[in-house]
Structure 1
Amino acid sequence: MPNRHVVVWITAVAAMWMYIDRVCVSILADPIQTDLGLTDRERARALGAFFFTYALMQIPGGALADRFGPRLVLTLCIAAWSIVTAATGLVWSFAALVVVRLLLGISEAGAYPAAAGLVKRWARPDERGRFSATVAAGGRLGGAVAPAMTAVLAAALVAVGMVTWGENPSGVHWRGVFVVYGLFGIVVAVGFWAFVRDKPPEGIAEAAPAYAPEPDPAAEWHARPPAAPRRELSFLGRLGLLARTPNMWLFGIIQFCVNLSWAFLITLLPTFLKDADVDLGVRGWVQSGVLFAGCVGTFLGGYVADGCRRRFGPRWGRSGPMMAMMGTCCVTCAVAAAGPPLWVVVAMLVMMSLCQDVGVPSIWAFAQDVGGRNVGAALGWGNMLGNFGAALSPILLTEVQIAGGWGAAFGVGAVAYAVAVGCGLFLDATKPVEEEG
């Protein structure tokens, strides 16, 4: 039986591979557009299609993890998204590309809600921020290495003379990249199933708190024995419970706003760099550097989340880090919108990536605090609304950029972050979902 640290690190590896498969398409978007003959708007819609189904399936994915266990659901997710990633190398048209992007969204949707449930089962309350940060950092690391690794792999496949198929006027072997990533993902799925369990065995010392935790209204409410046995909620029951909870709407709006801005980094940043006459290979390294700042931020955010909760309590200890970081992101987007030199914009995007991800562990921990038995569905609710923002991001920002340039697009990001800060003022981690429902 693995200990809780091993379980968390293996889950982080799964998250890393999920982001590699998710982000690699952005660095390959230009050769895909060339080979398939796509317009700029078609490319933006194909990039956004993933987030649409990813958003729609968040709550069903979380509910399945709550019902059947995170181990089974997450293993199936890894296998499914790996198959779809490999299939991306076979697309021949805009319609086919949209279909595989929609399927990728469906197959990845249950991963983070299931991972949140797994962390809650294996972590003590004072470890949730750090453990959630480890898993989220795994995803961010995958996103960070994906652009540079993808550019190198595509060049290597051409160098070894690997046969391509279909029209290839771009000269970039993007199809083989997707196939290689998909095959390796199957290995990750097998390894996850072999080494991870849903929860520690009854009475394991490592899973039990070795101290008397501080009072937590949410935890105390959930710990009270119910007057009568509570029946398991159906999917519609969970959805109705979340929809009746004002706290969860605030949680979702925050994620909608921050993802509307952040998704630029994994969808349109290579296009922005292309318009600035940056070479394809350099684009990959720049995007990787920006996203790597997010890895650092996520790692730091785990300690920030746990430290703020101890210092300020569950109410402001959860919402405070979110508001501080999103406020800083608002400033960085506003500076980028003012039209400074290219590398000043890149520096602002690095800061935005860092600060946004410092707040991510607090977002996960908030869902774990208030979700109770429905923690997967609770995180899924926030992720659903958040990824509607991500789905809208490349479409909206492309239209804004066409109409007003990249400065206007960065201005939209600044406004979105400002709205997130406002919602954070009213977010309250001391109100469990069941109690509000």
Structure 2
Amino acid sequence: MPGTRTKLLALTTASALGALLAVVATPAAEANDGQRATTTDAALLAHAKKVAPLNAVANALGEQGRGTFADTYSDLHVDEEGGFVTLFATDSTRAAKLVAAAKHAHPTIDTALIRVQNAAYSRKVLDREIDKIFPLGAVKDASKEVYYGAAPKADGSGITVEVKPSALQRVKARGNRLDGIPVTYVPGKIKTAASWRWNDSRPQIGGDVLVGNARKSGYVAQCTGGIAAENSHGRDYLITAAHCFPNGAGVYGEGGSTPGHWTGSHGKYFGKVTSTKDGWDAQLIDSGLYNGKGFNSDEADTPTGKWYAVNNVAYSYKGQRVCQDGARSFYNHKGVPCDITTSNDDYRYRIQWADGSLHNVRGVQGKGSYCGTEGDSGGLVFVVNDSRRRQARGIVSAGNGPGEIEWTEATDILHSFGLKLNPHQ
């Protein structure tokens, strides 16, 4: 532990995507985010057009599955290459009614894209059992905890539970069912939290660099701005990862004229952390300003110096591709990673904050050739709607090497804080 000298927080292994000490060559300074862009990479636009009908179907089905038809809904798989959406449900008659209700609520969806497949258990039943062994939030006595993660099986046939490796055989000996539900035990790993795009002037947006005192005393954390939102009075907040800064901490831009050098120096003041939801790995930075003057619902994308409006929000489902605008990836010449495919849309995992505390989180897991790195924590996870708009899916939370990433979902986060997106400008 350092004395009075401030150090960068540098943690390794499978991590919530935070800071490193390494210095790399960086792009030219992005002194401001510039202006909203009206063009997007042609390949991304083509993909957005291709999957738009599938996403519309998935969103409509998921809406019913989380509501009136929770008794039969189990899962959704979006096959972006095959061009269809598979609905997993426990009852074929109820499934047909679910599809009809989705069509009634959203008349423009194409129900011919839907395939229905039987599932043994509803998501509601599986989640209820997972909640018993893996409740969200702070872990009170880590010495007694053996479960490191949990998720429903992709076909609704049971549960997969990640277990502390040293306890795996002991847990397996108890049997392969939880309250009658089949369970598969696999070795797990705690996600170790540590905690960078350049904008040091208001309003800040998704993808901007955040710097502030870390949860570990005497250290500095560096994260990425994620979801910009407002309350019913129009007060501006920026949402980043909960493991980044303690409540009450001041949050700043990155100081200096050469972004991406990870010096940890404070730039201009952004706001103060006022609230944390550790089960969603999310925290609020209060700007003290209103109507988009402090934070505005846009995200820093490419080309450099441009931004895009983030004006709608949705859940993610298996098979859907997403992007994330983590600042560290940008300054490591990875641009905006967009080849991330949702592999698990209801994933519980354990994360360790810099102060050593453990927290159970519920989110989504994605995989790809490159998904992110330390310093991307809090960055916006999104999909491209068109050349002007982006859809918020969540914020970057954790990872396990460059090929895996976890994020928590924007809809859940906004609901938990009682906020909405604020794309004013």
TM-score bucket (shorter structure): under 0.3
Q: Which structure is higher in helix share?
A: 1
* TM-score, normalised via structure 2 length: 0.23
Q: Normalised by the size of structure 1, how large is the TM-score?
A: 0.22
Judging by fraction of residues, say which structure has more strand. Answer: 2
